[in-house]
Structures are given as structure tokens and as C-alpha cells.
Amino acid sequence: MGRPGRWLAAAGAAALVVLGGASPAAADPPGPTDYRSVVLSVDPPAPGVELDVIGGDSFLQLHLTGDEPVEVLGYGGEPYLRFLPDGTVEENQRSPARVLNQDRYGGVELPPGVDAEAPPEWEEVASSGRYAWHDHRTHWMNQARPPGREPGDRILEAVVPLRVGDRDVDVTVASTWVPAPSAVPAVVGGLVGLAGAVWLCVRRRRLATVAGAALAGGVVALAMGVWATLSVPAETGPSLLLWALPAVGVVAAGGALAARGLQPPVRAGLVAVAAVELVWWAWHRHEAVVRALVPTDAPLPLDRAVVVGVGVLGVGVLVAAGRLVWATWPGRAPAAEAG
């Protein structure tokens, strides 16, 4: 393998190493959804206990600000979570809810020792008095659409039982099917990305121009990915791919621009790596375009436009970079295209 081939292999290996550690931090992180769950009531009222739903319908969050301990009961009535007045949050490792809540649809088997009747085995999971968890009582538990229902309908209403001090408290949660989002942001984003892709491909651009386009797309995708990551609590396990993919793309494109001492086909290969990361990121987030709710604090029309725009631009960059790899291979490269 020649020197350019070795550089290309090294760049690809580096991307795989980075992404090898970029698997989701939790078994089932919050993702786009068509259902919105809300807390309807807390009966009797429990001052100092704040509840909210995170990610449309993905996670229920409790924040204890009062001076009474709170227990969240699992599906068998067993102690599942315990919130203490000093901010400590503990999880019962023997609660079936702990295992079942690792998957949105509860598709896991209970290991030995996990039993609702077993004495609690507490383990600290937070120290801020705030914690979010999957709770199957708060969302639709089927990948198929609710039968006999349509967008706008309430699809479930259920109770999550708490024990506040020595009182039993019922938290009523309802979930509603949200209508599909407008396609306008995705179309606008796609047109912007297409314009950039066509501009890169209609004639052979200089390497620096193509790398600059990849860098710009990577920076925008990275910003949106970090925004989405910071929009949800860390314990919900937002996918590291939200920011790791565009981060690799930014490094690869930036390296192609900065490392002018490398052979032109190697620099073009780095741009191709950046393009693959952009397309991969857009595919990873494609449900954000079609689902009604997305777990991010970013404006949803902007988020959808960026996902489509970056994906389309990434395809254009990949085509342009491939042409440059071919055109600048030793013995073929016009000097003007290596800039």
C-alpha cells in the first residue's frame, strides 16, 4: 500500500476509533416521537415535588425541593426510586422496574435476583434531588399506532404511584397523539443543501473549496447535536452520535484544510471522510424530520431544516471529494486542483 493509501486507511481507522466509543450512553435514549405526555394532576397535592415529562413522552422527571422523602413505586408496587431531602436519589437494584425501564417497550428479561418481593438494594444515581427515568405508565407501549385513534386524540391516561413521607400520592399522566409536522422546513433545508451540492458538483472545485463546504456543514451539525444533547438530562443517555459524527467530520475537514503538506489525494480522502460523517449524522437523525416532537430545545423547524440540508450537502461533498481523489491521484493531478 502506497503512502496515500496508508494515510487514507489511517484517517478511516481514526474515525472508527472515535465512533467506537460513541454508542448511546443508555439502552434507550430519548428520540423523536408522535406522542406528548403531560402530568394532569398530583392527588393529594405534594408541595416540594415537581414533575415533568422529558422528550415528548420518553422520560418522567421528578425534582424534590421539599423536606419529605419521596418513593416512586414500580409496576409491582415495589420501591423503585427514593428521593431524599439532602438531594440524594437512589434506585432499587432489585426492582423489576429498573430492568424493564431500560427499553421503551419493556422488551427485556428479568435477571436472577430481580424481584418485586425482594428487600430493596439501594444504589445512588444522582445527588441533585432531580432524576428522570423511563416509565411505561406514561407512554404508548406499542410500535403500532393506537387502534381506533387518530392524531389529536388522547391515547392513554394512567397513574404513577408515589409515597411522599407517609402519604400515598397518585400522579395522573395522559398522552396525546400529536399531528405530523409541516414538511416546509425539511423542503427548505433540502433546497439549500441541494444548491450547495449542485454548486460543488457542476464543475470540479478546488480542494479547499470542497473542504470548506464540509467544514461548514460539520460545524452546523455539531452545533445542533450539542444543543440536542444538552437539552435532556444526562441520565436519559442522549446518543453520543448526535455530536460525535459531526465532530469527526469537522476534524477531518479541518485537517484537509490545514495539512497542506499532505498529498492531495490524502487531503481529498479526509474530505470524503467528513462527508460520510455528515451523511451518517443526517441518517441517524432522519426521524426528527417526520416525527412531531424531537427531544431538543432548538426550534424544531430549524432542527429539521438542518438535518435535511446537511444530509444533502454531505452527498454533494462526497461526490466532489471522490472526483478530487481520482483527479489528484499521483500522475493524474493538475496542480490547480490541489489547492
Task: Give residue-wise pLDDT tens across range 316-331.
Answer: 999 999 999 888 887 6
Q: What are phi and psi of 237, to 5 degrees?
A: 70, 50
- Judge whether residue 337 has pLDDT over 70: no
Helix (H) or strand (E) holding 92: strand 89-92
Q: Tell me, what's the pLDDT at 281?
A: 98
For 209-255, write each residue's pLDDT tens digit: 999 999 999 999 999 999 999 999 999 999 999 999 999 999 999 99
- Judge whether residue 82 has pLDDT over 70: yes
The pLDDT confidence band at residue 17, using thresholds 50, 70 and 90, is very low
| 72: alpha, beta or left? (left if phi > 0; alpha if psi -120 to 50) | beta
The pLDDT confidence band at residue 22, using thresholds 50, 70 and 90, is very low
For 305-316, write each residue's pLDDT tens digit: 999 999 999 999
Can you say whether the dihedral through the CA atoms of 37, 40, 43, 44 is positive or negative? positive
- Judge whether residue 11 has pLDDT over 70: no
Q: Tell me, what's the pLDDT at 332?
A: 60
Cβ distance 94 to 114 under 8 Å? yes
Q: How many CB atoms lie within 10 A of CB 13?
A: 10
Q: Tell me, what's the pLDDT at 294?
A: 96
DSSP state string for 22-62: -S-SSSS----BSEEEEEEEEES--TTEEEEEETTTTEEEE
CA distance 216 to 316: 13
- Least-confidence region, from 82-86, 166-170, 265-269, 333-337: 333-337
Cβ distance 55 to 295 under 8 Å? yes
DSSP state string for 124-140: EEESSSEEEE--GGGS-
Cell digits of residue 163:
409515597
3 or 315: which leads in pLDDT: 315
- Look at the block and give the residue holding cell 498529498: 263
35 or 263: which leads in pLDDT: 35
pTM: 0.87
Q: For residue 15, what is the DSSP state? A: H
Q: Tell me, what's the pLDDT at 107?
A: 82
Averaged pLDDT of the chain? 90
Task: With H, G, I as helix, E, B as strand and everything else as coil, classify residue 114.
Answer: coil
Q: Tell me, what's the pLDDT at 27?
A: 52
**Closest by CA position to 7, among listed 338, 288, 268:** 268
**DSSP-assigned beta bridge partners for residue 79:** 73
Mean pLDDT of 298-306: 98
Q: What are phi and psi of 335, to 5 degrees?
A: -60, -30
For 94-152, write each residue's pLDDT tens digit: 999 999 999 888 888 889 989 999 999 999 999 999 999 999 999 999 889 999 999 99
Mean pLDDT of 71-86: 97
- Judge whether residue 76 has pLDDT over 70: yes
